[in-house]
């Protein structure tokens, strides 16, 4: 097979409307099957009446982003149904795509780690309710949360963390921005740069999140601490308090929290998502300025570049 093409899963074919698809002739020549923007008939998709199809390797990154967005929307939709089982399934699909799909969708999470996350939370519904609250607040928040969870799980898996630690970090990742559900919907949905007053309000999500998690007694204190301190920096330049003594969990989630918008969504300074290497370069400058731990940064880089 030609190196410049990547196979597309049959089950995902309808997600590739925006991309030209190719098939290979008997002579192993790549031929155009459909142009960019063209749809394959629903009946054909249903009966799988199409050859093995491929995208150009050069479309990989954009296709991966499109696919990931669709799956995230599916996850958000599922969360609305508020059932533990569908959420688990949606997360498991996301994970499976990340592990098996040729497009390398969203970091790498293992299905077992999701099982670990939900163990013990089956009885009281707090975690599920929190996810439902998140999804009701804004799509951006859901996308961000799933990305943080995915990267955190990748970190834990790579460094062979013990189950208890994986669970604390995973739940911390899910809940770190839970305080945002108490911000005004105007702030959660704004697409323009925040005013100073709005940014001040955004900062309160740390204190609000801390309170929400503490009030529901089923979470470990470390998880509430992450919500409170994930925007603190080791040089004292963070918020809400400007402290420099930060727990390992909050340091990790804080670092990933800074990496995620760079790599996945773009920031006010870097409008488009950056390649992982560029995102890490930008983050490295922050590490060199003393905001994050060098060791934590090195450990994070190693889990991304395996």
Provide the binding-site residues for Fe ion, judged by CB under 5 A: 177, 257
CA gap 167, 113 in Å, rounded: 8
Closest approach of Cβ 45 to Fe ion, in Å? 37
Omega cis (within 30) before 75: no
Give the Cβ contact number of residue 9 at 10 Å.
15
CB of residue 256 to Fe ion, shortest distance in Å: 9
Cβ 251 to Fe ion, closest distance in Å?
14
Name the minimum Å distance from CB 266 to Fe ion.
15
CA distances for 225 relative to 130, 214, 266, angstroms: 17, 9, 27
Q: At what angle do helices 276-288 and 294-304 cross, to 10 degrees?
A: 170
Q: Which residues contact 68 (CB under 8 A, 6 or more apart)?
A: 105, 106
Rounded to a whole number of angstroms, the minimum distance from the CB of residue 169 to Fe ion is: 14
Strands (E), the chain: 5-7, 21-24, 30-34, 54-56
């Amino acid at each position: 097979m030609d190196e410049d093409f990547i196979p597309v899963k049959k089950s995902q074919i309808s997600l590739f409307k925006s991309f030209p698809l190719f098939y290979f002739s008997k002579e192993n020549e790549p031929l155009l099957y459909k142009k960019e923007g063209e749809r394959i008939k629903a009946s054909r998709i249903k009966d799988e009446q199409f050859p093995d199809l491929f995208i150009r390797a050069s479309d990989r990154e954009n296709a991966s982003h499109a696919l990931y967005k669709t799956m995230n929307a599916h996850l958000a939709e599922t969360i609305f149904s508020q059932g533990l089982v569908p959420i688990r399934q949606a997360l498991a699909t996301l994970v499976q795509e990340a592990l098996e799909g040729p497009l390398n969708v969203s970091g790498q999470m293992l299905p077992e780690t999701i099982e670990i996350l939900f163990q013990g939370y089956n009885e009281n519904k707090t975690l599920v309710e929190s996810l439902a609250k998140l999804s009701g607040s804004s799509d951006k928040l859901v996308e961000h949360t799933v990305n943080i969870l995915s990267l955190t799980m990748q970190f834990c898996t790579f460094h062979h963390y013990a189950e208890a630690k994986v669970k604390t970090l995973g739940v911390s990742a899910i809940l770190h921005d839970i305080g945002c559900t108490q911000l005004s919907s105007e702030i959660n949905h704004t697409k323009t740069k925040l005013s100073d007053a709005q940014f001040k309000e955004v900062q309160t999500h740390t204190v609000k999140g801390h309170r929400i998690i503490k009030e529901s007694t089923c979470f470990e204190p470390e998880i509430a601490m992450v919500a409170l301190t994930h925007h603190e920096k080791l040089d004292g330049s963070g918020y809400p308090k400007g402290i420099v003594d930060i727990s390992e969990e909050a340091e990790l989630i804080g670092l990933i929290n800074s990496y995620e918008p760079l790599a996945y969504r773009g920031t006010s300074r870097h409008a488009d998502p950056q390649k992982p290497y560029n995102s890490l370069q930008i983050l490295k400058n922050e590490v060199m300025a003393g905001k994050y731990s060098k060791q934590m940064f090195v450990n994070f880089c190693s889990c991304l570049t395996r």
